[in-house]
A = this chain, B = another copy of it.
Amino acid sequence: MSESSKLMQKPTHHNCDTCDVRHKAMCAAVDAEHTDQLRAIVSHRDYAPGQVIFEEGDPADYAFNISAGEVRLCKLLPDGRRQVTGFLTPGDFLGLIADSAYAYGAEAIGQVELCCIQLSNLERLLSDIPPVREKLLSMSRDELAAAQEQMLLLGRKTAREKIVSFLLYRHKHLGRTEGDASIDLPMSRVDIADYLGLTIETVSRTFTALREEGLIELPHPHHVIFPNLDAVRDAAEAG
C-alpha cells in the first residue's frame, strides 16, 4: 500500500561470490565449474517494504532466490479475505508456477533483495547440472511437507496452539544463534493472523495471554523471548 520509497541501503548480496545464503540456496548445488554459467544468467532486484514482487495469476517469467529480507506469499478470495501461505527467508526459492502463471502473490515484508533467474535459463541449468535439479526437487519436497504441516495447523489446532507452533517453528528454523531463546517477527499482526487463519485481535490477545502466563516476553511487538523453551514446547500440542 504505502510506497515508502526511501533511499535504499547499499545492497550487499548482489554478487554470487559474497552472497551469504549461497550455502542454503539452490545455488549451493552449483559446482565451481558452473559458477560462471550461473553468474551470467542471474540478475538482482531490490524491493521496499510492502512492495509487490508479483501477483497471483501474473504470467510467470522469472524465478527468484531470496538473498536478504523476508517475503510473504498470499492468496486472495474475491471479497478480499487473504491467506498467507508462507513466509520466505534468505535462501528460500520463490516462483511456483501453475500453467505458466504464478500460483500466489509475493510481497516484500521489509527490505528485500532477490536473485532473479529467467525460467528458460533455470530449465537449462536444471538439465545441465544434475545436483541442481536434485536440490530443487528436495526443496519442493520440504516445501510440500511444510504445507501439509500447515494444513494440520489450520484445520485442527486452537488459536493458542497455532501461535505457539508458529513461534516454535520460527525459533527452530530462524533462530539467530544456538542457545538464543528469542526470535524476531518482522511481519505485522495482520500477516500473522492471515497466516494462521485467525484475526489480528485473537493474535494479539493470545500473545498477551502467553505473556501473562510467563511463557513468553514481549519487549517489543516484533520480538519474542522464551524464558523457558521447554514449557513452550509442552504448550504446543497439549491443551
The answer to whether A103 touches B133 (Cβ under 8 A) is no
B75 touches A152 (CB 8 A): yes
Docked complex Cα distance between A79 and B144 (Å): 24
Distance between Cα atoms of A96 and B238 in the complex (Å)? 27
A30-38, A80-88, A181-189 - the one binding chain B: A80-88
Q: In whole angstroms, what is the CA distance A96 to B149 when docked?
A: 13
* Chain A contacts with B in 130-171, Cβ cutoff 8 A: 130, 133, 136-137, 140-145, 147-152, 154-157
Closest chain B residue to A149 by CB distance?
A: B75
- Chain A interface SS verdict (over half): helix
Q: Does A8 contact B (CB under 8 A)?
A: no
> Can you name the residue of chain B whose Cβ is closest to the Cβ of A137?
B137
Beyond A75-B152, A148-B103, is A141–B197 a contact (Cβ under 8 Å)?
no
Are A85 and B152 in contact, CB atoms less than 8 angstroms apart? Answer: yes
| A78: interface (CB < 8 Å) | yes
Chain B CB within 8 A of A237 CB: yes
- The answer to whether A156 touches B77 (Cβ under 8 A) is yes
Name the contact of A151 in the complex, choosing from B130, B144, B151, B238 (C-beta under 8 A). B151
A148 → chain B closest CB, angstroms: 5
**Counting CB contacts under 8 A, is A92 at the interface?**
no
CB within 8 A of A145: which of B98, B136, B150, B194?
B98
* Chain B contacts for A196, CB-based, 8 A: 155
User: Distance in Å from the Cβ of A131 to the closest Cβ of chain B?
Assistant: 11
Q: Is residue A226 contacting chain B, with contact meaning CB distance below 8 A?
A: no
Q: Which residue of B lies closest to A136 (CB)?
A: B137
**18 A-B pairs in the complex with CB atoms less than 8 angstroms apart:** A77-B157, A79-B239, A96-B141, A96-B144, A96-B148, A98-B142, A103-B144, A127-B130, A133-B133, A140-B140, A140-B141, A147-B147, A151-B151, A151-B154, A154-B154, A154-B197, A155-B195, A156-B194
